[in-house]
Structures are given as C-alpha cells and as structure tokens.
Amino acid sequence: MSIRKTYEAPGMREWVALIPTRNNIVRVHFSGGSETGMGTAPATFTTDNPAVCALIEESSYFKRGRILLGEESKENEENEENAGCRDSEVSTDSRRLTLAAEAVAAMKRDENGNQYFGKPK
C-alpha cells in the first residue's frame, strides 16, 4: 500500500518551488490554482514517491507553511517496500540522506537540462 500525498501552495496559481538538497536544487512544480469571485484554490503537487515527500516535508517552505499538506490517501500496491512517507519512516539522518539521493535520482530534466519534479514549466 502506498500513500499519495497532495501538497498545496496557498495563494498561488502556478509555482515552481526550488528546494535545495546537498548538491542540487530540486524543482517541484505546483499547478492548478485558481482565483474566482467564489474564492481561491491553491496550486497543488501530488506524489506517492516517499523520497519526494521527505524532501518536501524537510524543506524550509514546508516548515514555514509556504507548502501545506492538503490530502493524503492510501492506495493498494503490490510493492510493500514503498509503503509511504510518514515522518517516523524518515526519522534518522541516514534515512533522510538515502531518500534525498533517491529523490535526486527520480528527477526529470527539461530540454535545457534543468531538473524538476512534476510538469516542466
């Protein structure tokens, strides 16, 4: 079973969060926000990758409230290895470094060689 988490960027329609890691800067693309006469909807980013969850939740943006955890849903999956991204699973420094390394390995590159998660800008 994996956990799919949706992160929100309040007050933003589109936003690319630049999250520093040890040697890189990871781009996380938030999209889908809107502002209407009826109210606002924040830009969102959804993932079930535990490494990306750990990277976001350890970032200064998350700690300061610039990125919020919106929804969390469990999904059945045959691979129990990737069972989620709860804080208790990333409590040690070595685990965090491992997850950060996995996050860097999972990054995509656009045509200019820039790294990002989600949709390119």
- 23-63 confidence digits (pLDDT tens): 888 999 999 999 888 889 999 999 999 989 999 999 999 99
**pLDDT reported for residue 104:** 65
Identify the DSSP state of 84: -
Mean pLDDT of the chain: 78
Q: What is the pTM of this model?
A: 0.63
Does residue 79 register a pLDDT over 50? no
| Beta strand segments in 1-121, E | 2-9, 15-20, 25-30, 34-36, 39-41, 43-47, 68-75, 108-109, 115-116
pLDDT at 111: 67
Per-residue pLDDT at 97 exceeds 70: no
Q: Can you tell me the distance from the alpha carbon of 121 to that of 116, in angstroms, rounded to the nearest whole number?
A: 9
Residue 118 DSSP code: S
Mean pLDDT of 58-73: 94
What is the average pLDDT across 8-12? 94
As a whole number of angstroms, the distance between CA 82 and CA 85 comes to: 8
